[in-house]
Structure 1
Amino acid sequence: MKRLLIPLLAASLLVIAPPAQASSRQDVDIVVTPDGFDAPRTLRAGRVTLRARSTDPAGAWLGLVRPRPGVTLERYLGDLERALGDDPVEGGKAVAQDVEMLGGVAVAHVSASATLRVSPGDYYLVDFRDVGLPDLARRVRPVRVLPGNTGAAPEPSAHITMADGRFLAPSVLNGPVRVVNLSRQYNEAMLMPVRPGTSLTDLDTFFTEVDAGRYPAESPFTGGPTGVVPMSPGRSATLSTALPPGEYAVVTWVRDLRTSTMFAARGMRALITVKG
């Protein structure tokens, strides 16, 4: 079975509508199954949209990474397993040195898409939910990006910025959102539906327990995450999704590589109202 990065959540309430098309973009449709996924072996540089859906109950966290010179796939995956396993700090530091993370899209029981800017070079497309499986290397998809000039990303209706230890996020969201990492390390932004009346204090209490290795019986969340998977500092991605009206939390499950504490346990979270 896949090693879950977060505890199993109730069935998602999210309903995703296909994002608006842009003819100058490269749209890559990816279907993830329990056996893995397929992806193009070549792309053109510029804007690439990863449109994903998962038939795997565990969902998928698809991320595009570019290895640094001399870094092998074996080395990167070994460090990634340490980072998502029992050595999150030193493993995470090694991962940050191994690859540049361009981000990607997380899907649970519904589909979602993320638009990224890519330059020519060799990349890997990884489902981070596969970490811990014995055939992890076989599931990774190599992608070569050729010179090109594809066009603009979807026009965002709002921005979510990842600063050091906090999200700068709008109070209301309606439409595509551009996620930017201006912090000192890689991080992510996940939108998760919350129970009515959930407060920031409720989120803090939950993540403090999770950070200590205890998973509370009561979760503030009513569905799985849809969002942008870890990106290196300075990177951005545009998430296109149509969420039903309601209350959501913007959260991260990433740990601070200096302290080993989960960012969310230190107050990196926000509440957003999604309007139809």
Structure 2
Amino acid sequence: MRTPMIAALALALAFVAAPAQAGTSETPAVDVLVEDSGLNSPATVTAGATTFRIRSADPEGAYVGLVRIRPGHALRDVLADVERAFDHADREGALAAARRLSAEMVLYGGAAVQAGMVVDYTTVLAPGAYVVIDFKEVGRPGLADKVRRLRVLPGLPHRSPSAAAEIVLSSTAAGATRFTAPATLPSGRPVRVVNRSRQYNEAILLPVRPGTTREQVGAYITAVSEGGQAPSPFTGGPVGLVPMSPGRAAVIRADLAPGSYALVTWLRDYRTGRMHADQGTYELITVE
């Protein structure tokens, strides 16, 4: 879990946009802090739109996600499948576990953050029980002891932040996943991410060297996918939305340095076993 690829692979926030209603209030914000000693997150929030202000004091950053276990499944069993899904020594077992996860839990996304920065992620939550997890810890001892439970209590609706741009994940007729994104994203402004594809997926931004081409990014992705090596075009760590289930959406905001970025997903297509990115799920964009 220490490379950008593996960290981003570590298992993703359901946000369904709704018009503001009379009596709604501004979106409340709660703090989530990842330290060397563990994950600190609130025990309760109220239903409706909530902004999770995620930051990490861990030099490795964090990959904080929010999930809800479906009825009939136990948390310990789901976490075991999360571990299996990223066991690269057993590819077939990993793909089978990834497929099971779609039936075992709803992934509400979350945020990948680098040390010392803050990423805001907003979702709409119904009352019930949820689990907060730093997916960076997948593959390390004691994962079950490191997750945090979150209870969402009934409450008045809150207004969600307006988005300045939108990124959409969708499926082609052949089943491949593609990004639709503007050529330019505004730094520090809310961006809505929508998953209209057929699998849980993510939207990760990685800074690239000036002048990097899409072909160079693709060559690196192919080399990584095949277990080989190639010059990395990336100049920094991942920031963005970690995996969320199909039919979900989220709003995310981060203060990113202006420049060129690759928009990628490092997850594997559990139909083909290949990385989505190796099947063309990546784009180059500019942050201003």
Using structure 1 for the length normalisation, give the TM-score: 0.90
Identify which of 127, 139, 142 aligns with 2:134: 127
Matched, 1:234 2:247: yes
Matched, 1:116 2:123: yes
Within 2, Cα distance between the matches of 1:201 and 1:5? 19
Identify which of 209, 216, 235 aligns with 2:223: 209
Within 2, Cα distance between the matches of 1:64 and 1:89? 21
Change (3 A) 1:168 1:141: same
Matched, 1:274 2:287: yes
Deviations 1:148-200 (A, max 9, x none): 23412221111000112110000011122100000001000011111111111
Deviations 1:39-88 (A, max 9, x none): 11111111111111111122111110000102111101100001122333
User: SS state of the match for residue 6, structure 1?
Assistant: helix
Matched, 1:193 2:199: no
Q: Which residue of 1 aligns with 2:5?
A: 6
What letter is aligned with 2:142?
A: D
Within 1, Cα distance between the matches of 2:4 and 2:214? 22
What letter is aligned with 1:192?
A: L
Are the aligned partners of 2:45 and 2:153 in contact in 1 as well (CA < 8 Å)? Answer: yes
Q: C-alpha displacement at 1:36, in angstroms?
A: 1.1
User: SS state of the match for residue 38, structure 2?
Assistant: coil
Q: C-alpha displacement at 1:7, in angstroms?
A: 6.1
Identify which of 148, 153, 160 aligns with 1:146: 153
Within 1, Cα distance between the matches of 2:159 and 2:253? 14
User: SS state of the match for residue 29, structure 1?
Assistant: strand
What letter is aligned with 1:113?
A: D
Change (3 A) 1:84 1:3: farther
Identify which of 267, 275, 278 aligns with 1:254: 267
Q: Which residue of 2 aligns with 1:11?
A: none
Q: C-alpha displacement at 1:120, in angstroms?
A: 1.0
Alignment of 1:4-153 (within 5 A): 4=3, 6=5, 24-86=26-88, 87-109=93-115, 110-153=117-160
Change (3 A) 1:225 1:7: same
Structure 1 spans left out of the alignment, 5+ residues: 9-21
Structure 2 spans left out of the alignment, 5+ residues: 8-23, 172-176
Within 1, Cα distance between the matches of 2:46 and 2:107? 18
Dislocated runs of 4+, deviation >6 Å: none
Within 2, Cα distance between the matches of 1:84 and 1:215? 20
Within 2, Cα distance between the matches of 1:161 and 1:149? 29
Q: C-alpha displacement at 1:213, in angstroms?
A: 2.1
Change (3 A) 1:121 1:154: same
Within 2, Cα distance between the matches of 1:104 and 1:274? 20
Are the aligned partners of 1:41 and 1:142 in contact in 2 as well (CA < 8 Å)? Answer: yes
Identify which of 222, 225, 240 aligns with 2:238: 225
Are the aligned partners of 1:4 and 1:58 in contact in 2 as well (CA < 8 Å)? Answer: no
Within 2, Cα distance between the matches of 1:7 and 1:103? 17
Number of residue-to-residue matches in the alignment:
261
Using structure 2 for the length normalisation, give the TM-score: 0.86
Within 1, Cα distance between the matches of 2:97 and 2:64? 19
